[in-house]
Amino acid sequence: MGRLKQCWSSLLVLAVVVIGTGAVPITYLQSAVAKGAVCLDGSAPAYHFDKGFGSGVNNWIVHMEGGGWCTDVASCNERKGTMKGSSKFMNKDFGFSGILGGKQSTNPDFYNWNRIKVRYCDGSSFTGNVEAVNPANKLFFRGARIWRAVIDDLMAKGMKNAQNAILSGCSAGALAAILHCDTFRAILPRTASVKCVSDAGYFIHGKDITGGSYIESYYSKVVALHGSAKSLPVSCTSKMKPELCFFPQYVVPSMRTPLFVINAAFDSWQIKNVLAPTAVDKGKQWKNCKLDLKKCSAAQLKTVQGFRDQMMRALSPVHSTPSRGLFLDSCHAHCQGGSAASWSGDKGPQVANTRIAKAVGNWFYGRSAFQKIDCPSPTCNPTCPAISTED
């Protein structure tokens, strides 16, 4: 009896630790494999699901993980041996925080919702859909099928009764939230309030340091390899080349579902990969500057400031529509809604004396609109934390 009591005590301590850290177990969607909805290596897609309770039992937030893209067989093969290309390598538990956090104190508007983190293992922002599998590399390009299989599974688990719902994501997952936003709205009940949130997913069709657009050629490779064209919004692909529809500035104007954009004007990923990608920085003059803006020369800072100008122009479809929300800070950061500290913490970024959690919550529930743009320089906002590069 003593041993049994000790065992139960140990289990209770373990349960308290797990609950306290917000660790949510993984769900492997084995039923998706038969539909061909699989990761790059053919393994089952996966997500983490923390069930809603109380007043949030019929509210849902589906948040898509980020992690870049793969543009060719070699880079996709590399991902295949990691959690970004195979569910075999994914951590079994995931700590939920920020927009997914389960504590009322740090996530007051969404803490008791059904909260889902969809793992990212396709390398295409959930847009790939190629039927054929080359026997030489055995790569599966099925991101769009993964997205639909996960949504269908969640509908069967209660999302069909949703009263409120958000499709969100970070980085490549945030881009997916924009690209799939109207489809998500169409799948859910007509009576539900459905909106989308992009955290660091507003990748711009920007000019790089040579005056060209390296990011356009990069996205064209993603779209071609993964067969993404047929999964992108027709409202965009009917007007322009499909790779341009990876840029939200061309998708958002025809979106019907309300969207909130959280972004840094000096987005650290975009400074590194849109403005000064290694492929065009032949002399490596930008190697230090793009990682730490304090190490930029005066001329480089002027170019960085020009990137913000490009960002502002690209965001015009967001701040020209009242139903959309915008939190554009001047931090050198990427993905700011994933941790409690940056989402709602005392030391998190603020724009117009407002933290991200409050801005998004007020917007979602219609308490107040929020479209705020920060002061114009990368050093002007004292609430910007040290560089964050979560993706």
Closest CA to 247 of 334, 169, 311, 182: 311
Distance CA 330, CA 378 (A): 5
Q: Are 139 and 85 in contact (CB under 8 A)?
A: no
* Tokens found for residue 288: 């230090």
Query: To which H or E segment does residue 147 belong?
Result: helix 143-156
CB atoms within 10 A of CB 25: 11
* Residue 23 CA from chain centroid, whole number: 20
The one-letter code for the residue type at 368 is: S
* Tokens found for residue 248: 């939200």
* Residue 251 CA from chain centroid, whole number: 16
Distance CA 151, CA 49 (A): 12
Q: By three-state DSSP, how is residue 205 classified?
A: coil
The one-letter code for the residue type at 310 is: Q
Residue keyed to tokens 């983190």: 117
Contacts of 315 (CB under 8 A, 6+ apart): 202, 249, 261, 263, 326, 328
Using CA atoms, how far residue 284 sits from 280, 332, 369, in Å, is 9, 20, 43
Distance CA 45, CA 225 (A): 20
Residues taking part in catalysis: 171, 267, 334
CB atoms within 10 A of CB 297: 12
User: Using CB atoms within 10 A of its CB, is residue 35 exposed (0-12), middle (13-18) or buried (19+)?
Assistant: middle
Q: Are 26 and 46 in contact (CB under 8 A)?
A: yes
Residue keyed to tokens 């997916």: 176
Phi/psi of residue 49, nearest 5 degrees:
-130, 115
